[in-house]
Structure 1
Amino acid sequence: MSTPEIVLCAPVRTAIGTYNGTLKNTPATTLGAVVVRETLSRAKLDPAKVQTLVFGQVIQAGSKMNPSRQAALGGGLPVETPAMTVNRVCGSGAQAVASAALEIMAGQIECAIAGGMENMDMAPYLLPAGRWG
């Protein structure tokens, strides 16, 4: 069995914000949806052709269930398209790309969108010792 060729096309990067800057109230899932929409546009790709979406996100607290699914739907992928969120600390986005590539190499799918999304300003702020004064 030959290994399918993996092609990365239409890479997209969101703006890099500053702490407490203009993106401070923009959820990671919204940023992810922007990336999905722009990827579809740049690649001139029919959303129905995407067979899975895999995104990494380290700080998922406060993002609700399966942030990748939210980004997929917000980015225009059909409701039938599965989405998986990866949490591998600093390597989540890279692991997402590797995981999507593995699905292609295994012959399970032919087309995926993969990457990462994060907004550290939106991460919950905890003060564990605060309750004791």
Structure 2
Amino acid sequence: MSAGRAKAMGQTPLARILGFGDAEQEPVDFTTAPSLAVPVALQRAGLSLADVDVHEINEAFAVVALANAKLLGIPEDRLNVNGGAVGFGHPIGMSGARIVGSLLTVLKQEGKRIGCASICNGGGGASAVVLERLG
């Protein structure tokens, strides 16, 4: 919702969406699809990978976050800072919401501003969103 609508409802916006992206490849390669979606989201946000303070990559399997971080060149200290789905769980149907919540928490804890959350969908596709923490 818009910041104006949130304020009218007595709510304080936590973040705004700067860009989003989707990508797909062969289903057998679904684990690395986030590495294709993240650049799309960053391009739409007008940002580069270096502009992102924190990344959350959903890890349906432990290799997902590690492989995508390697492909994208994400430093370990900027990846799944408080842990990922291997530790927190991967509740099908709400994992995307969980990683966005985790991302916003880390941005606030660390006093950072820009974050990117990405997730593969198991069918060869992935989605990514770039957020700016407000406040």
Q: How does 1:14-93 map to 2 (within 5 A)?
A: 14-15=23-24, 23-28=26-31, 30-58=32-60, 60=61, 64=63, 67-75=64-72, 77-79=73-75, 82-84=78-80, 85-86=84-85, 87-90=89-92, 91-93=94-96
- Which residue does the alignment assign to 1:7? 16
Which protein has the bigger helix share? Answer: 2
Provide the TM-score with structure 2 as the length reference: 0.62
Runs of 5+ consecutive residues of structure 2 not aligned to the other structure: 1-11, 125-135
Identity %: 17
Over alpha carbons, which structure has the higher Rg?
A: 1
**Structure ranking higher on relative contact order (CA contacts 8 Å, 6+ apart):** 2
User: RMSD of aligned C-alpha atoms?
Assistant: 2.7
CA offsets 1:74-96 (integer angstroms, 9 cap, x no match): 23x44365212323321212100
Count residues in correspondence. Answer: 106
* Stretches of 4+ aligned residues off by more than 4 angstroms: none
Runs of 5+ consecutive residues of structure 1 not aligned to the other structure: 16-21, 122-133
